[in-house]
Amino acid sequence: MSTPHDQAHTGPIKTPQQLLAGVVLGFVLPIFIIIGLAVYVTSAPKPGAGAGNMEMAIAKRIQKVGDVTIAVDEADRPLHSGEEVFKAQCAACHATGAAGAPKYGDAGEWGPRIKTGYDTLLNAALHGMGAMPPQSGGQFNETEIARAVVYMANAGGAQFDEPQAPAAEDGDKAADAK
């Protein structure tokens, strides 16, 4: 005989199929729902959520805080000699004759070039010629490059005068006169 007490202990799961369905619905299905919600929330901004504002906010967060510029005023530093510029920039090719460069001190190689004149030699150095790239715009200014040209040409037999520092600009002279 069955008593009311026996019926109270029976549950809704009576077969293995019902147990499997209960496990899937109770554990696996919520996991897939959570994963789907996470993908939805972390996906691209939704329309009306301020997509343009988000781009602006990102740009604001990653903007540069400031700039640091360390520069030496050309007027404040002394000019390098032709020998210093030659050793630092020209010797790599002109000391060995690499890529057809006339060797330092070789009058035979420098003679035809010296006959073209100082201005032609300087122009070739500043703007490049043959395998030699332009030398202007780098570590040395044009006056220093000119000094190196004179240094090499004079070692090859020329008698060019070493270029001096350019005179101060008219605005600087006017300020000094006041």
Give DSSP secondary structure letters for 20-32: HHHHIIIIIHHHH
At the second CATH level, the architecture of 78-155 is Orthogonal Bundle (1.10)
pLDDT at 145: 83
- pLDDT per residue as tens, the chain (178 positions): 555 555 566 778 888 898 888 888 889 889 999 999 999 888 866 555 555 677 777 888 888 877 777 766 666 677 778 788 888 888 888 888 777 888 888 788 888 888 888 888 888 888 888 778 887 777 788 888 888 888 888 887 877 778 787 765 544 444 444 4
Residue 14 CB-half CA count within 13 A: 4
pLDDT at 74: 61
pLDDT at 171: 45
Query: What's the longest Cα–Cα distance across the chain?
Result: 133
pLDDT at 106: 79
pLDDT at 178: 44
Q: Which two tokens stand for residue 102?
A: 């006339």
Query: In a 3-state reduction of DSSP, which class is residue 132?
Result: strand
Enter the pTM of the model.
0.52
pLDDT at 47: 55
Query: In a 3-state reduction of DSSP, which class is residue 129?
Result: strand
The ranges assigned to domains in the chain are 15-43, 78-155
pLDDT at 96: 82
